[in-house]
Amino acid sequence: SERTKVSPLCLSPLPTSRTSSTSEKDKQLKLNNLKPRTGIAQALLNMALTSPLWKLVLVPQARQNIIKTAAQNGIKWTDSYHWLRSQDGPWNQDGPWNENQQEQPNWDQNYPEFYTKEFHAYENGNLCWDAAFEQELASRAVGARNFPDFGSEGEDAFRGSFENALISLGATLPHDGTVVDLGCGTGTSTRRLAKLFPQAKSIIGIDLSPYFIEVGKALLSISPKGQLDGGPWVTTIENDERIQLRVGNAISTELLDQSVDAINLSLVIHELPIEVTCKLCEEALRILKPNGQLYISEMDFDSPAYAEQRANALLFSLLRSTEPYLDDYADGFEEILNKLVEIFESVKITAATGRHYALVATKRGDSDNSNEGLLEDSRFGPDGSYVVSDTHLKVWESKQK
């Protein structure tokens, strides 16, 4: 069916992107050629990051830094948390969990081992209510860190930059198409997809955490106003009957072969082992229709900002303290890219922010029997510099000065 392009006019206004100066070329090329960090010093740091003492110091510091960012940018973290916690939901009930399950899920038996790790300063990772309550709060703070000039609306600029980049790469969707948002969390990215593609018939958000899905469903049902609109939540939410949120495994969605038109992965794969990401790409290929598209929005460790931060092992440990697979992702990015080129017809990637990329991979059509896809990488200019300047706050900053 005919695919419809989306007008960038529906996206959040963004500051004009600028290219880095040519004097950065040699530094950039050197950073891009960094090898995975190894050796005794790195082994000792790895041991330290898993020690109880380190967790007592570094993890709380990372958490407090993001809460401080929220407070200094007008994001009412505590008020929003307590408002959501007070709403009717399974978190305020002794049981049942839902109609078909009388007890909360058994983490060790029902989830892949990698998913039971500590994530984002939560001992139970994504498998707890606090992680679900605070996901959208933390996301607003992360947005303010990436686009500090926008303050409490920084997340809109941040996510809008990915959407603009995806559209520039040719992201399209047919009329009455179906979009699947894998690793949707509480549905922030799912709701944005619904607005980005008004011609979509169905937008399906899938996440492995029942906690996130329950909170996401509650937010859609309540449809609160955002704080800037005089409401209790960090952003205004409008219910959309086209949106479905469901618990599921991204590498085994149980969706039919060739049944969806587009798949979205927004800030998901940096939280996965490389082998899981590769399986996820294969699952995306299976459920996409011919000429369907996979969208990926992610951290880019080839960018000058992240490459330089990663070159400083101690500084990078602040990120790694709450992201157990970050090194795996950074070291394995080329493997992911090669996998996509191997199984998709074309793969296009560009810079979305000064430290993130957007990628569109298009599946082959029914009549295309070619064996190898094409890669188009426009993240760097002719001089080797990253094509979007970095606006992110420094690690020790919480607000634009």
Residue 272's pLDDT band (boundaries 50, 70, 90)? very high
**Does residue 272 contact residue 325 with C-beta atoms inside 8 Å?**
yes
Kindly tell me the burial class for residue 369, based on how many C-beta atoms sit within 10 Å of its own C-beta (0-12, 13-18, 19 or more). exposed
Indicate if the pLDDT at residue 21 is higher than 60.
Answer: no
DSSP of 270-291: GGS-HHHHHHHHHHHHHHEEEE
Q: Report pLDDT digits (tens) over 73-118.
A: 999 999 999 999 999 999 987 543 444 443 454 444 579 999 988 8
pLDDT of residue 213: 96
- Residue 122, SS3 per DSSP: strand
Any idea what DSSP says for residue 7? P
Q: What are phi and psi of 2, to 5 degrees?
A: -70, 135
Cα separations in angstroms, 207 against 102, 111, 127, 212, 266: 20, 12, 11, 7, 12
pLDDT of residue 25: 43
Q: Report pLDDT digits (tens) over 142-198.
A: 999 999 999 999 999 999 999 999 999 999 999 999 999 999 999 999 999 999 999
Residue 179's CB: how many other CB atoms inside 10 A? 25
Any idea what DSSP says for residue 364? P
pLDDT of residue 128: 93
Q: Report pLDDT digits (tens) over 376-392.
A: 999 999 999 999 999 99
Q: Report pLDDT digits (tens) over 187-236.
A: 999 999 999 999 999 999 999 999 999 999 999 999 999 999 999 999 99
